[in-house]
Amino acid sequence: MTRDWGIMVAVRDIVPAWSIDLFTLIALLGDLLVIVPILGLLYLADTGSTLLRARNRQSTDYDGPLCTDRTVFLIGTVFGGLALVVFLKALFALPRPPAEFHAIEPSEHGFPSGHVLAATVFWGTLAMWGRVGSFRLRLTGAGVAIALVGFSRLALGVHFMSDLVASVIFGGLYLLVIAVVADERPERAFLFAIILAIGALVVAPSESRSLLAFGGSVGAVIGWNVVESAPVKKRLLRVATRL
């Protein structure tokens, strides 16, 4: 178990059995079942805010986007990170710790940690480009969330310590590339997401998560452009003013 450095084994030795359900819940901070719905809520909240302002003005004369580019950029960046998870797991295809340490039933591959990488990208994106609170507060919150997810995966016995460290590094490098290249432009963020999803399809064409990553990224782009198209946007604004 050279990838562990003895840390996962030590954590498993001190974690009481009653805490397994708690750590399973904590791990949801880096789970797609939580992250994707939150992205949907962010989109609906931003779009709803625009429609609410239109209703208050009782005017459909609005030329801006229903959902701000900043929010769409956040969503595209996270989708790219989720595609990166699928791509790297399939690329390395390294095993998890022995089954004797597992407190839950995990998927096949253990490097990098999908939960920790997803948490790094999701909470890191909110820290870097979010608007709630100060940057220091957002960064602290992201660090705490990532650390909790990482420890939970050790406590559940499904990852070595090196898996977690590598996941944070991969996630941080991804966000750095996005910050430099995408320049807060949503179309570039989604382009990255689609490229990474295609990469996942290449290295793991039969993997269902590769198909989901590609379908999710492409579907999100199509949905965004359809809603922002002139006919649909005008109709939504008209409906909002009548409510």
What letter does residue 94 receive in the DSSP assignment?
E
Collapse the DSSP code of 59 into the 3-class scheme (helix H, G, I; strand E, B; otherwise coil) and give the result: coil
The beta-carbon contacts of 168-172 under 8 Å, at least 24 apart in sequence, are 168/116, 168/117, 168/120, 170/84, 170/88, 170/112, 170/117, 170/120, 171/81, 171/84, 171/116, 171/117, 171/119, 171/120, 171/121, 171/124, 172/120, 172/124
Contact between 118 and 238 (Cβ < 8 Å)? no
> Would you state the pLDDT for residue 175?
96
Residue 112: is the preceding peptide bond cis (ω within 30°)? yes
Q: What are the helix and strand counts (H, E) for the chain?
A: 10, 2
- In this structure, the number of other CB atoms found within 10 A of the CB of residue 152 comes to 26
- One pLDDT digit (tens) per residue for the chain, 243 residues: 566 777 888 888 888 888 999 999 999 999 988 999 999 999 999 998 888 887 777 666 677 788 999 999 999 999 999 999 989 988 888 888 888 888 888 887 878 999 999 999 999 999 999 888 888 999 999 999 999 999 999 999 899 999 999 999 999 999 999 999 988 899 999 999 999 999 988 988 777 788 888 888 899 899 989 988 888 888 887 887 776
Contact between 142 and 123 (Cβ < 8 Å)? yes
The residues, ordered by sequence, that sit 6+ positions from 198 with a Cβ below 8 Å of its Cβ are 214
Secondary-structure breakdown of the chain: helix, strand, coil percentages, each rounded to the nearest 5:
75, 0, 20
> Would you state the pLDDT for residue 58?
66
Rounded Cα gap, residues 161 and 96, in angstroms: 11
Side chain identity at residue 218, one-letter code: V
CA end-to-end span of the chain: 62
The residues, ordered by sequence, that sit 6+ positions from 77 with a Cβ below 8 Å of its Cβ are 121, 125, 129, 175, 178, 182, 189, 192, 193
pTM over 0.95: no
Rounded Cα gap, residues 94 and 34, in angstroms: 25
Query: At 110, which helix (H) or strand (E)?
Result: strand 109-111
> Would you state the pLDDT for residue 57?
73
